[in-house]
A and B are shown apart, each in its own frame.
Chain A
Amino acid sequence: MVAGADTAAEPSLNEKHLKYWTMCLQYPLPQIYLANESNRMALAYFIVNSISILTPSPSPSSAQPQPPPLISPVERRALREWVLSHQHAAGGFCGTSSLLFPLRDYEEWDFEEQKPTPEHSGLANIAATVFSLLILALLADDDEAELAFNGVDRVKTLRWLRKLQREDGSFGESLMNLPGRGWFVGGGYDGRYCYIATVIRWILRGDLKEGELGWVEDFDTERLAKYILNSQTYDGGFAGSSADEPHAGYAYCAISALSLLDRPQENSIAAHPSKILHSRIRDMPGLIHWLASRQFVYLKPKERAETFDEDDDPVNYLLPEELSDLTLDENIRHVGFNGRSNKVADTCYCWWVGAALANLGKVDMIDQKSTRRFLLERMQHKIGGFGKFPGSPPDVYHACFGTAILAVMGEPGLKECDSSLAIPVDAVRRIERARRALLKRANEEGQPVSLASEILDMGLSIRGEKPAWLTVVEG
Chain B
Amino acid sequence: MPPKGKAQKPKGPETSKAPSTAPAPQQAASPALSAPPANVKQRSQQRFDESRPYEVARQKVGLSGLSPAEQVGWISARFARSNAVARSRLGPKSQRELWRHVNEANLPVRALKKDPFWGRDRNGRDVGEYNLAQFDDRTAKRIALTALEVSSRAFGDLRERANRGPRDETSGLVVTETEVQEERVRRASMATLRKELYGEKMTGKLAQDPEWDDVEPIPYEEPAVALAAIAYPEEYAEAISYLRAVMQKKECSPRCLRLTEHIISMNPSHYTVWLYRASNIFALKLPFLDELNWLNSVALENLKNYQIWHHRHLLIENYYPKIADSPSAIADLAASEQEFLATILAEDTKNYHVWSYRSYLVSKLGLWGNADELAAMESMIRDDVRNNSAWSHRFYIIFSNPEHSTPGTASTEPDPRAPPDIVDREIQFAQDRIYLAPQNQSPWIYLRGVLVKGGRKLASVEKFVEEFITGLEEQGSKEDIQSTHALDLLAEIYAEKGDKKKADLCLRRLGDKWDRIRVGYWEWRRKCLGTPGGEVVAQA
Contacts and interface: CB of A to CB of B under 8 A. Distances in A.
B124 to A, nearest CB: 27
B214 to A, nearest CB: 19
A285 to B, nearest CB: 4
A173 B274 CA distance: 13
Interface in B349-368: 349-350, 352-353, 355-356, 359-360, 362-363
A12 to B, nearest CB: 25
Contacts of A240: 356
Interface stretch (B38-46, B81-89, B232-240): B232-240
Contacts of A242: 396, 400, 410-411
A188 B354 CA distance: 12
B412 interface: yes
B441 A293 contact: yes
A122 B272 contact: yes
A101 B540 contact: no
A96 interface: yes
Interface in B98-113: none
Contacts of B517: 295-297, 326, 333, 335, 367, 370
A29 B359 contact: no
B64 interface: no
A301 interface: no
B232 to A, nearest CB: 7
A182 B30 CA distance: 86
A340 B271 contact: no
B62 interface: no
Interface centre among B230, B396, B442, B517, by most chain A C-beta atoms within 10 angstroms, is B517
Nearest to A71: B227
B370 interface: no
A234 to B, nearest CB: 3
Contact of B231 (A30, A120, A366): A30
B236 A34 contact: yes
Contacts of B446: 234-235
A10 interface: no
A58 interface: no
A40 B228 contact: yes
A38 B344 CA distance: 25
Given A232-B412, A233-B392, A285-B535, A174 B247 contact: no
B248 A362 contact: no
B318 A319 contact: no
A186 B275 contact: yes
Contacts of A31: 230-233
B310 interface: yes
B270 A96 contact: yes
Interface string B493-533: 00000000000000000000111111111001000100000
B189 interface: no
A104 to B, nearest CB: 11
Contact of B350 (A296, A340, A366, A370): A340
Contact of A285 (B222, B411, B453, B528): B528
B387 interface: yes
B482 A323 contact: yes
Interface stretch (B135-143, B205-213, B277-285): B277-285
B244 interface: yes
Interface in A159-218: 173-174, 176, 178-181, 184, 186-189
A98 B241 CA distance: 8
Interface stretch (B150-158, B261-269, B291-299, B332-340): B261-269
A91 interface: no
B256 to A, nearest CB: 12
Given A179-B279, A181-B282, A187-B271, A367 B229 contact: no
Nearest to A122: B275
A28 B229 contact: yes
Interface residues of B, number: 94
Contact of A236 (B233, B270, B271, B412): B412
A388 to B, nearest CB: 12
A278 B410 contact: no
Interface in A104-121: 105, 119-120
Interface centre among B269, B362, B388, B413, by most chain A C-beta atoms within 10 angstroms, is: B388
B445 interface: yes
B231 A99 contact: no
B445 A295 contact: no
Contact of A34 (B266, B272, B279, B483): B266
A245 to B, nearest CB: 4
From A135, A188, A365, name the one whose CB has the most chain B CB atoms within 10 angstroms: A188
Interface residues of A, number: 102
B230 A365 contact: no
Nearest to B392: A245
Nearest to A343: B350
Given A40-B230, A97-B226, A296-B517, A342 B410 contact: no
Contacts of A39: 269
Contacts of A55: none
Interface stretch (A74-82, A410-418, A447-455, A458-466): A74-82
A451 to B, nearest CB: 31
A188 B236 contact: no
A364 interface: yes
Contact of A99 (B233, B272, B363): B272
Given A34-B266, A47-B228, A362 B524 contact: yes
B395 interface: yes
Interface in B408-433: 410-413
Contact of A47 (B227, B271, B306): B227
Nearest to A292: B521
Contacts of A29: 228-231
Contacts of B250: 119
Given A31-B230, A188-B310, A243-B359, A174 B271 contact: yes
B279 A98 contact: no
A115 to B, nearest CB: 16
B521 A288 contact: yes
Contacts of B445: 234-235, 341
A35 B268 contact: yes
Interface string A82-99: 100100000000001111
Nearest to B539: A284
A48 interface: yes
A241 B352 contact: no
A284 B535 contact: yes
A79 B483 CA distance: 54
A384 interface: no
Nearest to A125: B271
B266 A122 contact: no
B275 A232 contact: no
A123 interface: yes
Contact of A364 (B268, B359, B520): B520
Given A35-B269, A188-B313, 15 more contacts: A24-B228, A28-B230, A31-B230, A38-B273, A43-B228, A97-B220, A98-B232, A174-B271, A187-B310, A188-B310, A233-B392, A242-B411, A284-B536, A316-B386, A330-B516
9 contacts: A29-B229, A41-B228, A43-B230, A243-B356, A244-B396, A245-B392, A282-B410, A333-B517, A343-B388
Interface of B: 220, 222-233, 236, 240, 243-244, 247-248, 250, 252, 266-273, 275-276, 278-279, 282-283, 306, 309-310, 313, 318, 349-350, 352-353, 355-356, 359-360, 362-363, 384, 386-389, 392-393, 395-396, 399-400, 410-413, 439-442, 445-446, 448-449, 452-453, 481-484, 513-521, 524, 528, 535-536, 539-540
